[in-house]
A and B are shown apart, each in its own frame.
Chain A
Amino acid sequence: AQRVTQPEKLLSVFKGAPVELKCNYSYSGSPELFWYVQYSRQRLQLLLRHISRESIKGFTADLNKGETSFHLKKPFAQEEDSAMYYCALRVVSNYQLIWGAGTKLIIKP
């Protein structure tokens, strides 16, 4: 069965420090991976998707099929990055999103 694991419930780093939010998945085929973010009192919104290979708000994520990972990285954290981050998997040609439990990122001043 498909599964997404975010091993850290909480990650706290200082402003300006590098950030890495971990995401591992289990799926035998070719997945689509997403990162969604939920800022305080706002709705879930798409941050980035591996297919686009883009950088949003300084965040990047590379799909590593060998390690079945899709870690989210940012070289220099900003206070406004504090939020809940969710990794999600979609099986190709399906519509269901399979979600990790989320990581709460706190950026300390």
Chain B
Amino acid sequence: NAGVMQNPRHLVRRRGQEARLRCSPMKGHSHVYWYRQLPEEGLKFMVYLQKENIIDESGMPKERFSAEFPKEGPSILRIQQVVRGDSAAYFCASSRTSGGPQETQYFGPGTRLLVL
């Protein structure tokens, strides 16, 4: 099992461009979570998805950010018209189930987004 995969590992964008971050969950996992980590801070929850459904997007900025997890293919976090403040590390995690005392979230290596 290759674990949670994220690509690209590093992404550089100019202000106003779009950023697309991809996450492939572990085999057998159908729950995906996205977190953002700003410099010197802990991770902050953004969105929780299951296949073809957004379950909780309470941590997503209201504008420019969107996420999807299609029936086939990876989950995608999309940031339109990026601004310098979007520069951060974006982590994806997956789990077999959601909640529950035995559920563990497994993390990908993250995508470092730099907006120039």
Q: How many A-B residue pairs have CB under 8 A?
A: 53
The reply on B69 being an interface residue by CB < 8 A is: no
Beyond A43-B3, A101-B40, A101-B42, whether A96 also contacts B48 by CB under 8 A is: yes
Please state if B42 and A51 are interface contacts (CB–CB under 8 Å). Answer: no
Please state if A97 and B109 are interface contacts (CB–CB under 8 Å). Answer: no
For the residues of A in contact with B, the DSSP-based class is: loop
Beyond A43-B110, A45-B107, whether A95 also contacts B101 by CB under 8 A is: no
By beta carbon, the residue of chain A nearest B91 is A44
For the residues of B in contact with A, the DSSP-based class is: loop
A51 to B104 Cα, complex, angstroms? 12
A98 to B56 Cα, complex, angstroms? 15
B4, B41, B44, B101: most-surrounded residue (chain A CB, <10 A): B101
Contact pick for B109, options A4, A43, A88, A93, CB 8 Å: A43
By beta carbon, the residue of chain B nearest A87 is B42
Please state if A95 and B43 are interface contacts (CB–CB under 8 Å). Answer: no
The reply on A46 being an interface residue by CB < 8 A is: yes
Query: Which residues of chain A are within 8 angstroms of B85 by Cβ–Cβ distance?
Result: none
A46 to B107 Cα, complex, angstroms? 9
A97 to B34 Cα, complex, angstroms? 11
Contact pick for A96, options B40, B56, B101, CB 8 Å: B56
Q: Mark A73-95, 1 if CB is under 8 A from B, else 0.
A: 00000000000001010000111
Please state if A86 and B48 are interface contacts (CB–CB under 8 Å). Answer: no
Q: How far is the CB of B65 from chain A (nearest CB, A)?
A: 17
From 1 to 59 in chain A, residues with beta carbon under 8 angstroms from any chain B beta carbon are 4, 6, 9, 32, 36, 42-46, 49, 51
A6, A43, A95, A97: most-surrounded residue (chain B CB, <10 A): A95
